[in-house]
Amino acid sequence: MADSFGLSIRKMLNVTMNLGASDLGIDLGTANTLVCVPGKGVVLMEPSVVAVRANSNPPIVPLNGRAVGYEAKKMIERTPESIKAIRPLKDGVIADFQITEIMLRYFIRKVQKRSWGVRPRMVVSVPSGITAVEEKAVRNSAVNAGARRVHTVAEPKAGAIGAGIRISEPIGVMVIDIGGGTSEVAVLSLGEVVTLESLPIAGDEMDEAIISYVREMYGLEIGHRTAEAVKISIASAYPLEEEVSYEIRGKDIAAGLPRRLQISSAEIREAIHDPVYKIIDAAKSCLDRTPPELASDLLDTGITLLGGGAMIPGLRELISEETGLTVQVAEDPIKAVARGTAILLEKLDEYEDVLEAD
Ligand code: ADP
Ligand code: MG
């Protein structure tokens, strides 16, 4: 009797606790948006893409249910003229507030099926280049999407925390986050970004470079999704022990007909040489602007690579060779920023001064 009573109380408590929606850490990236729940890990990772009708009135109407994320990304370069697939954060600044809000709402709803109960707290990471107005717009969007309290955090801070680096110490650490639209190089100490280089050169630019290379060398026109697939499959920054090849399909520019082509990893390495070296140059100029005491700390702490671009084989070795520092790739680097936002949620008090609140 006493036991079953105890059980019912426990059940009731459980139900009550479940009423409170879980807090959400969100990485609002130029290429991908991730949602991470403390204790559960990353629960959503989808492209930051929204498909909208181009000429309807009102002009912006997401296509029901299939408008955002993966489904929308599939539509890029395959849509009729009446539909546009938009990446609202493409260059690391928010090009379109309304579309960013539609996207954020959609992803939050997707992971937060229950719309009643206690409203969640959210930590949203934003590109460092964002203006105060844009930051306010992100907060408003999160509130409109159901947040009780919203904090924003600069991407390199969240990324460093997610990579397991203790950023609150008076010791210099350096992260390089290579995303889709932007790369951010930052030296952090005492929870603050001390030196920052943010540049609009990252994964997208490598895709563009592959498109140009294939056009110039082979007279073959390929789309962005094909270029990205080639990059993810065979790109490298340093000679591979065994070079590999990949079949590309595109359109022959002269004949106007579809054509296949075998391309080698060595050629793709040559194709992405410029964007890769622009990121390395940014890292060097960030080091150059770093105060000497912090710069010397980096001899111990090294550089940590984050973001999807960190997965390019050989990048670690190349950056290490070019800077003379030890370089490590964060575990599951594409999720590091999202993990950081969830860690910040768990330790809101401890990290109060790292975060921006409304
Ligand atoms: P953002 O934070 O800007 O949204 P992400 O950190 O999600 O960007 O990284 C997205 C970029 O990483 C894209 O350009 C994508 O093509 C690239 N990427 C993803 N996986 C790989 C991989 N295995 N190798 C190389 N690049 C990758
Ligand atoms: Mg990112």
Is any ligand 1 atom within 6 A of the Cβ of residue 54?
A: no
Dist. CA 288–CA 318, nearest whole Å: 18
Q: How far apart are the first and last CA of the chain?
A: 50
Residue 122 burial (CB < 10 Å; 0-12/13-18/19+)?
Answer: buried
**pLDDT tens profile 156-185:** 999 999 999 999 999 999 999 999 999 999
Tokens 């579309």 locate to 99
39: left (phi over 0), alpha (psi -120 to 50) or beta: left
Decide the pairing of beta strands 303-306 and 173-178.
Answer: parallel
Q: Give the model's confidence band at 65: pLDDT under 50 very low, under 70 low, under 90 confident, else very high.
A: low
CA dihedral over 123, 88, 127, 321, signed as positive or negative: positive
**Does pTM top 0.75 for this prediction?**
yes
Mean per-residue pLDDT for 76-89? 82
Output the residue whose Cα is nearest ligand 1's atom 13.
180
Q: Give the model's confidence band at 98: pLDDT under 50 very low, under 70 low, under 90 confident, else very high.
A: confident
Output the residue whose Cα is nearest ligand 1's atom 17.
308
Ligand 1 centroid – CA 31 distance (Å): 7
Nearest to 244 by CA among 274, 266, 276, 220: 266
Instruction: Count CB neighbours of 219 within 10 A.
Output: 15
Say yes or no to pLDDT of 357 above 70.
no
**Which tops the pLDDT comparison, 3 or 117?**
117
Say yes or no to pLDDT of 16 above 50.
no
Dist. CA 103–CA 288, nearest whole Å: 38
Say yes or no to pLDDT of 26 above 90.
yes
Tokens 């498109």 locate to 211
Q: In what order do the strands lie in the sheet with 173-178?
A: 192-199, 183-189, 173-178, 303-306, 327-329
Q: Taking each helix axis from N to C terminus, what angle separates 203-218 and 224-234, rounded to the nearest 10 degrees?
A: 100
Look at residue 19 in the predicted model and tell me its pLDDT.
45
**Cβ neighbours of residue 230 closer than 8 Å, sequence gap 6 or more:** 210, 246, 248, 263, 268
Dist. CA 343–CA 326, nearest whole Å: 26
Mean per-residue pLDDT for 349-358? 72
Dist. CA 11–CA 223, nearest whole Å: 54
Please choose from 334, 337, 341 the residue to mutate so as to test ligand 1's pocket, defined by most ligand atoms within 8 A of CB: 334
Ligand 1 centroid – CA 312 distance (Å): 9
Output the residue whose Cα is nearest ligand 1's atom 18.
308
**pLDDT tens profile 215-261:** 999 999 999 999 999 999 999 999 999 999 999 999 999 999 999 99
Q: Give the model's confidence band at 83: pLDDT under 50 very low, under 70 low, under 90 confident, else very high.
A: confident
pLDDT > 70 in the chain, percent: 89
Ligand 2 centroid – CA 177 distance (Å): 7
Dist. CA 264–CA 273, nearest whole Å: 14
**pLDDT tens profile 110-167:** 898 765 667 899 999 998 878 888 899 889 989 988 899 999 999 999 999 999 999 9
Ligand 1 centroid – CA 56 distance (Å): 33
